[in-house]
Amino acid sequence: MDARLNFFTDPIAGKTLKHFMAVGQALKDSPLPAATQELVSLRVSQINGCAVCIDIHTKDAAAAGETPLRLNLVAAWREAAVFTAAERAALELAEEGTRVADGAGGVGDEVWARAAEHYDEEQLTALVLLVSFMNMANRLNVITRQPAGDYEPGQFHRAASAPDSAPGSAPVPAQA
């Protein structure tokens, strides 16, 4: 499959995506636990059918020490006993925040309250921004049919930290 657009050769996309990548890095540096960030990013990407982001977040999580068991069970987190109460609350908020069109009123008060039991205001802010960020990354990649499978763990972080360079592949780097 060939991508419809190459975001890194288009001047408008290039100007925009450097800011997008900065948002991703700010979220990575937030106080929201790294494992939670990867699980949430993976779950949002599964819901949206974004193969590129599923590839990225599965590989980055594994490289960071996440177990294959937990990665394989993210899609069925409600029935899996391998996630903490805090992770379950974050995954629930991520699902409702991603499926806003499916439920009248968006994220319910009970879902928000469960998340607030485990995360302080700064972490909740990071969680909400991460869900929104991932939904945007997913949509950019799905709309433009970005192919998946060749991502190397840390690829976008290395490229973003190199002076005056951009990643060589086309997908929007959902590095959060």
The tens digit of pLDDT for each residue in 56-83 reads 999 999 999 999 999 999 999 999 999 9
Contact indicator for 97, 132 with CB cutoff of 8 Å: yes
Query: CA-to-CA distance for 46 and 30, rounded, in angstroms?
Result: 23
Q: Degrees (nearest 5) of the Cα angle 64, 70, 71?
A: 65
What pLDDT sits at residue 157? 65
Q: CB under 8 Å to 1, separation ≥6 — which residues?
A: 145, 147
Q: What is the C-alpha to C-alpha distance for residues 4 and 68, in angstroms, rounded to an integer?
A: 32
pLDDT tens-digit map of 4-20: 888 878 889 888 988 99
pLDDT tier at 162 (50, 70, 90 boundaries)?
A: very low
Inter-CA distances, 160 with 9, 20, 47, 78, Å: 15, 11, 27, 35
> Is the pLDDT assigned to residue 168 strictly greater than 90?
no
Tell me: the pLDDT tens digits for 79-128? 999 999 999 999 999 999 999 988 777 899 999 999 999 999 999 999 99
**Residue 66 exposed, middle or buried by CB count within 10 Å (0-12, 13-18, 19+):** buried
| CATH of range 43-150; options 2.70.98.40, 3.40.190.10, 3.40.50.720, 1.20.1290.10 | 1.20.1290.10
| Alpha-carbon distance values, 116 to 12, 40, 140 (Å) | 38, 16, 30
Give the Cα separation of 30 and 37 in Å (integer).
Answer: 10
| Residues 116, 124 contacting (CB under 8 angstroms) | yes
What pLDDT score was predicted for residue 155?
81
User: Domain map of the chain by residue range?
Assistant: 43-150
Does residue 165 surpass a pLDDT of 80? Answer: no
pLDDT at 171: 58
At residue 175, the pLDDT reads 52
